[in-house]
Amino acid sequence: MKGAIVLGLIFMLLMAASLYLFYRGLNKGANERIMARLAVDQPVAATTKPGADRIERAFLRAGLGKPTERLPLAMTVWGLSMLVGYLVYDGFGLALGILLPVILLRFYVSFRYQRRVSRMIEQLPQLLDHTVRSLKSGRTLGDAVLNSIDAAVYPLNEAMSRIKRNVQLGVTLPDAVQDFAELYERDEFRLFALGLRVNHRYGGNASELLENLIRVIREREQGARQLRALTGETRMTAVVLALLPLGMVAYFLIVNPAYLLHMWADDSGQKMLMVAFAMQTLGCLVLWRMLRSI
């Protein structure tokens, strides 16, 4: 019985992963074609390595440093969660102890990355405006960008210290900004890198280029705010649909806890609760992806 439950959970996780990869594949083709046309005759960026390098990249983008710095604490918490889960609910608790901390960590890292990169995008026009004023005062483009990085505030100055470090190691400024843009995977940073690369190769008025980029970023931000305002009702409906079953469970536990405990003591009741838990988890994942798409 316990083996069947574990296999069922594994099946649900694999099914969710396959649906996610299918959805991602449908929406990735157009973006890749556009970026491929823009990157003609440009150096090919280094591909992301799987495994430990991918995890380190995710932690770096979220501003959490290297994952190895907190590895002993993380392994201790993970081991305790598996032990507590096994002691409370045997095999099912062990499966929860293995999967739940990993899922929560994944969501936390993603949340930190989204919040951090949003603040960086808000601060980018100020950095570009400082760069334009430095250019008009007679500085070169490289000096203007590096001076603007020093004048920026957290978290943009901390993230862009990667650019300054690479330039000090001998990397050209366009390549250093391109590396930064590929790390954070945002169109605003890619446009910044593309503008510097075009100016570096063909020349032109750098201050005018950066002013146009500032206008584009602010227009995109204004459009995103309008979209959030227009879709506020939809997003609130999704949040209510996700929290309503959890609220009902909490209500039953407070008002009549014997009701759910009686279901858990019965074999068919356990199956119903596990199926409900799996469907709730899958529904929350689907709603989360829908919210991210708008």
pLDDT digits (tens, 9 = 90+) for 103-151: 888 888 988 998 999 999 999 999 999 999 999 888 888 899 999 999 9
When the pLDDT of each residue in the chain is averaged and rounded to a whole number, the result is 80
The residue segments making up the domain with residue 114 are 49-204
Would you say residue 92 has pLDDT above 80? no
pLDDT digits (tens, 9 = 90+) for 271-290: 888 888 888 888 877 877 77
Contact 294, 234 (CB under 8 A): yes
Selection from 128, 135, 168, 170 nearest residue 149 by Cα: 128
53 and 198 together in one domain: yes
53 and 27 together in one domain: no
pLDDT digits (tens, 9 = 90+) for 183-196: 998 888 998 999 89
119 and 189 together in one domain: yes
Provide the pLDDT for residue 10: 67
Would you say residue 30 has pLDDT above 70? no
12 and 57 together in one domain: no
Contact 127, 188 (CB under 8 A): no
pLDDT-based confidence at residue 249 (cuts at 50, 70, 90): confident
Which CB contacts under 8 angstroms, 24+ apart, belong to 37-41?
Answer: 38/194
In a domain, 213, yes or no: no
126 and 251 together in one domain: no
Boundary (domain end) residue, out of 204, 238, 272: 204
Provide the pLDDT for residue 50: 52
Which range (61-65, 127-131, 183-187, 215-219) has the least confidence?
Answer: 61-65
Would you say residue 41 has pLDDT above 50? no
In a domain, 44, yes or no: no
* Residue 93, amino acid: G
Write out the two tokens for 171. Answer: 């990397």
162 and 84 together in one domain: yes
* Residue 143, amino acid: D
Give me the number of domains the chain comprises.
Answer: 3
- Rounded to 5 degrees, φ, ψ at 177 are -70, -35
More confident residue, 148 or 54: 148
- Give the dihedral sign, CA 86/92/98/103: negative
The DSSP code sequence of 214-230 is: HHHHHHHHHHHHHHHHH
Q: What is the Cα–Cα distance from 65 to 84, expressed in whole angstroms?
A: 29
Q: What is the Cα–Cα distance from 289 to 192, expressed in whole angstroms?
A: 28
pLDDT-based confidence at residue 28 (cuts at 50, 70, 90): low
Classify 39 as helix, strand or coil.
coil
Would you say residue 99 has pLDDT above 70? yes
Q: State mean pLDDT over 69-88.
A: 79
Provide the pLDDT for residue 290: 73
* Highest-confidence segment of 42-56, 125-139, 211-225, 242-256: 125-139
